[in-house]
Structure 1
Amino acid sequence: MKIIGLIGGISWVSTADYYKLINEGINKKMGGLNFSECLIYSFNYAEIKKNNDANNWDSTFEMLLKACEFLKSGGAEAILLCANTMHFIADRLEEAIDLPIIHIATVTAVEIQKQEIKKIGLLGTKFTMELDFFKDKLAMKGVEVIIPKSQEERDFIHTTIFEDLGRGVVTSETKKRYLEIANQLIKEGAEGIILGCTEIPLVIKPEDLSVPVFDTALIHSNAAIDFQLS
């Protein structure tokens, strides 16, 4: 089994999900007492968010590069960044660390392609929705990405990810608003919805919507399992 390194704490809630999903997936495929051989480097989220709020991606890059080097020195053969937003610097990190980084948008694009979807809605942090690093990976596969048109809606999603979901807090009001935003994207032609933040599955479940839902944390975890067993 190949060893993987998980960079987590961004947030710890989704990191716990990754650890659970990957271990359960390995065991399902191998049985017995077989589980994932992995290393985890978990950040204090407050330090990452401070950099992001200041648009100081160079400092975030240096922090994540240190974590990658730590994991590589421990024997990791590939890295998972356990958050969509951090993939803004994934290609840069991969080049610097000289290890594969399993890119969450790339593996999500593959799953979308399997369902022959050409237009999809994306929900996530403002970085994920408004910057091009996620959308470009899908565009390479011929998939058009749409995001909420309203700045207020994007701000709402961004704020609740950090203030509520990142702490494991879910309210009925938050769920209702997320579903309203997702359904508006469906009205605008989205044939599926990407849960482009690893905390959003706390509020949106596949059965909540009339179109396919792509849980990026689950897709990413499955890609990690495939790598470990390849």
Structure 2
Amino acid sequence: MHTIGLIGGMSWESSAVYYRDLNRGVQQRLGGLSSPKLVLSTVDFAELTTLEDDQRWDQIGELLAEAARGVERAGADFLLLCTTTFHKVADPVEAAVDIPLVHLADVVAEKCLSQGVTTVGFLGTKVAMEESFFVDRLARSGVEALVPRPEHHAWINGAIYDELVHGQVVDATRRRMLPVVDELWDAGAKGILLGCTEIELLLRQADVELPVFPCTTLHVEAALDRALG
């Protein structure tokens, strides 16, 4: 079994989902008392969000690169960033280490294409929806991502940072999100990317008629495939 390297803390709710699901996945695949070999480095989310607000992405990149170097030194065979938004600095993080980075957008694109879906609606943080780093990476693999109309961005971001990162799953927020999904469907989306770990706490396949692609779940599955060979 290869050792999975994780950079977490963005938020700790997200990291907890990665840790839980990696363990559950190994149990399901191997049974018995099996558990994954993991190296986890977590960062201070408050520090990163302050830097994000100030647009100090170079500094964010260096902080996450240093965390990646620590994970590599601790014996990880490959690396995951337990976040969508901070994949904005995936390139400098990847360049800082000699182990492979399993990029979330590549994993998601592969899954979409395997199901014949080439246009998806993308729900995520304001940064992830308004900047091109994630949708451009999807496009490189042949998947077009449609984002909600701009008037939705602030409240979706608020739902993530004010509710979901604190573990608060609010029914009213779920009800408000469903018409946004319908708008993306009307715009041509053939599937919905839950492009933030915390959104997976809010929306499930049972809530949505379109195929749902839960990014964290897919990232975990890709890590298990790689770790177990």
* TM-score bracket for the superposition, by shorter chain length: over 0.9
Task: Report the counterpart of residue 151 of structure 2 in structure 1.
Answer: 152
Query: Contact between 2:69 and 2:96, CA under 8 Å: does it hold in 1?
Result: no
Task: Report the counterpart of residue 111 of structure 2 in structure 1.
Answer: 111
Task: State the Cα distance separating 1:115 from its structure 2 match.
Answer: 1.0
Check if 1:134 corresponds to 2:134. Answer: yes
Task: Report the counterpart of residue 161 of structure 1 in structure 2.
Answer: 160
Task: Report the counterpart of residue 123 of structure 1 in structure 2.
Answer: 123
CA distance in 2, matches of 1:77, 1:133: 25
Query: Contact between 1:5 and 1:38, CA under 8 Å: does it hold in 2?
Result: yes
Query: Contact between 1:9 and 1:15, CA under 8 Å: does it hold in 2?
Result: yes
Task: State the Cα distance separating 1:91 from its structure 2 match.
Answer: 2.0
What letter is aligned with 1:85?
T
Over residues 147-200 of structure 1, what are the superposed CA-to-partner deviations in whole Å (9 max), with x where a residue is unaligned? 012x22011111211111111112111111111111111111110000001100
Task: Report the counterpart of residue 19 of structure 1 in structure 2.
Answer: 19
Over residues 16-64 of structure 1, what are the superposed CA-to-partner deviations in whole Å (9 max), with x where a residue is unaligned? 1101111111121111111100011112211110011111111111111
Aligned residues: 229
Q: Which moved more, 1:50-59 or 1:140-149?
A: 140-149
Task: Report the counterpart of residue 193 of structure 2 in structure 1.
Answer: 194
Query: Contact between 1:4 and 1:78, CA under 8 Å: does it hold in 2?
Result: yes
Task: Report the counterpart of residue 73 of structure 1 in structure 2.
Answer: 73
CA distance in 2, matches of 1:152, 1:45: 26
Question: What is the aligned-residue identity percentage?
Answer: 39
Query: Contact between 1:178 and 1:203, CA under 8 Å: does it hold in 2?
Result: no
Task: Report the counterpart of residue 213 of structure 2 in structure 1.
Answer: 214
TM-score, normalisation: structure 2: 0.97
Over residues 102-137 of structure 1, what are the superposed CA-to-partner deviations in whole Å (9 max), with x where a residue is unaligned? 111100000000111121100001121122221122
What letter is aligned with 1:70?
G
CA distance in 2, matches of 1:178, 1:40: 32
Check if 1:100 corresponds to 2:100. Answer: yes
CA distance in 1, matches of 2:226, 2:107: 12
What letter is aligned with 2:222?
A
What letter is aligned with 1:89?
V
Q: CA RMSD in A?
A: 1.0
Task: Report the counterpart of residue 5 of structure 1 in structure 2.
Answer: 5
The unaligned stretches of length 5 or more in structure 1 are none
Task: Report the counterpart of residue 226 of structure 2 in structure 1.
Answer: 227
Query: Contact between 1:2 and 1:229, CA under 8 Å: does it hold in 2?
Result: yes
Query: Contact between 1:7 and 1:82, CA under 8 Å: does it hold in 2?
Result: yes
SS of corresponding position for 1:164: helix
CA distance in 2, matches of 1:93, 1:63: 9
The unaligned stretches of length 5 or more in structure 2 are none
Task: Report the counterpart of residue 143 of structure 2 in structure 1.
Answer: 143
CA distance in 2, matches of 1:194, 1:204: 11
